[in-house]
Structure 1
Amino acid sequence: MTAPEAYYLPLGEGRFESTTATQSPWDFAAQHGGPPSALCVREIERHHDDPTMRVARFTADFLAPIPQGVCRVTTRTVRPGRRVALVEAELTFGERAAVVMRAWLIHREDDRAEPADWAPPARGLPGPQEQRYFPGMDPAWGYGRSIEWRWASGAFDIEGPAAVWARPHTAIVAGEAPTHTQLVAAVADSTNGISAPLHLDGWLFIPPSITVTCLRPAEGEWIYLDAATHVAADGIGVAHATISDARGFVAYATQPVLIDRR
């Protein structure tokens, strides 16, 4: 059983149809947050088509459950600039907004600064592993199958911090190669899911937002997430991940999380 070759089919004029590869683990009629985030990054990059500017931070706010079906993405420049610019993308179904993303783009110039990187290195890529998902989950889960997961520690079916190499083998939009920032967006929303500290049979983890701050675009096929979720007694949590590739540090991801009993 394989996932479709793309998360979205282009319909023209900013409209896209989702495929089963976008499926949420909890409701196959809804979408996981990763693919819509990646689609919004794509539209922001296309809106601000300047090779000297790149996405340095994006925040996706999930305003409602994201259904399967046909959506439209519109973009606008909120703050123009030659050195920094703010661009917004809105993903809608009919008249209802489901995702709003804002991204800061910063002017880049080769050899402008001395590199300094203090993030810990990623663990080595493990060999091929059996692809297992959350306990009791239908293995047909589309988003899960759209990515190859190789765990350095933890797993979907183990509570607590986790470190995983993820290789998306699904395009964001059919017929085109995704940028590496789009691929980071596609996997970053898994931060809270891979590191939930409480058993998912009894607890809900709902992240209404994700922020990814990027040092540089990822390189190569594999993206590494070293993730943990912290939970306060009042049911508010924070999930975070250090994102790396084989070369080193790429980005940080953070999510606020609502935690409640099922």
Structure 2
Amino acid sequence: MARVGGHHRRVHYFERLGESRFAATEHTQGAWNRAEQHIAPSLGLLAHAVEQDRDRRRDDRLPLTRLSYDILGTVPIAAVEVDVQVRRPGRSIELVEATMSHAGRAVLVLRVWLMQRFGTEQLAGSSFAPIPSPEDTPAWDMSALWRGGFIASADVRRREVGPGRATAWVRTNVGLLAGETVSPAAAAIGLLDIGNGLAVRADPAQVAFPNIDLTAHLFSEPRGGWLGFDTTVSFGADGLGLTHSVIHDETGPIGSSSQMLTVRPVA
């Protein structure tokens, strides 16, 4: 919270400029280049746009289950446009595409499957290993390793397991979009991309390893609060890498996230 004139004012990653136009704030500032946006909040903004489009068209609130993002380029901390199209309409399953553009150039594309709910409470369960709770995980100053406004906006707790291996919990007090109600799912999706910085295999001052995509599979909707990561980072011998996280909320595992990396020694 920011305090202005004796009153608390909540800060946000984006502000709406029009029906499909949004302004990024300084809290989206990136970790690799502080003149560019960290892509994480944009993932949440596209998820929010898909949910808003869904709710205009139907009243059954299909959850977002598979989210596949392709990062087509960097984007400055500036105004962006968002377009949503239904690619495969259906009564119980839909495929929706959302595109973020800057200055007429597409920079981020989301293809997301929305799926109908069924009552399977008696079948619910997962064999993904639990991770230590937020209360049992020490606080971690992520800004000591990573730069930028987005990283500074995150409250992080982390337990390092080994090189490229960690469990962590993340939350933020920064809202996704000023003046609008955002679902716990969209807010959580806006944190997923932080996974690539949680289990560092190499010093980012010596090696760059940005991701070109992010794909998440969610078998349970995030409920808000802390978002947990059980993260493994792998580097190959030819400049390729993978960050894979099992995603948790405070009830247990809820899905997974994978990010393909380009691994480049810094000259």
Note whether the superposition's TM-score is higher than 0.5.
yes
Specify which of 111, 126, 129 is matched with residue 139 of structure 2. 129
Alpha-carbon distance in 1 for matches of 2:101, 2:61 = 29
Structure 1 position 31 matched with structure 2 position 37? yes
Structure 1 position 236 matched with structure 2 position 240? yes
Structure 1 position 148 matched with structure 2 position 152? no
Letter of the 2:159 partner, please give it: A
Letter of the 2:130 partner, please give it: P
Alpha-carbon distance in 1 for matches of 2:80, 2:194 = 22
Alpha-carbon distance in 2 for matches of 1:196, 1:4 = 31
* Structure 2: gaps of 5 or more residues: 3-8
Greater CA drift, 45-54 or 216-225: 45-54
Alignment of 1:76-225 (within 5 A): 76-111=85-120, 114-126=123-135, 129=139, 131-135=141-145, 141-153=148-160, 159-225=163-229
Alpha-carbon distance in 2 for matches of 1:222, 1:114 = 25
Specify which of 37, 40, 59 is matched with residue 68 of structure 2. 59
Runs of 4+ in 1 over 4 A off after TM superposition: 1-4
SS of aligned partner of 2:164: strand
1:92-129: CA deviations, max 9, x gaps?
11210010111000011334772232111121213773
Would you tell me which structure has more helix in proportion to its own residues? 2
* Structure 1: gaps of 5 or more residues: none
Specify which of 237, 247, 264 is matched with residue 260 of structure 1. 264
Task: Tell me the CA shift for residue 27 of structure 1.
Answer: 1.4
Task: Tell me the CA shift for residue 200 of structure 1.
Answer: 1.2
Is the Cα contact below 8 Å between 1:122 and 1:246 reproduced in 2? no
Is the Cα contact below 8 Å between 1:54 and 1:107 reproduced in 2? yes
Alpha-carbon distance in 2 for matches of 1:52, 1:17 = 27
SS of aligned partner of 1:224: strand
Letter of the 1:133 partner, please give it: S
User: What does residue 52 of structure 2 align with?
Assistant: 46
Root mean square deviation, CA, Å: 2.1
Task: Tell me the CA shift for residue 217 of structure 1.
Answer: 1.1
Alpha-carbon distance in 1 for matches of 2:199, 2:236 = 15
Alpha-carbon distance in 1 for matches of 2:138, 2:160 = 14
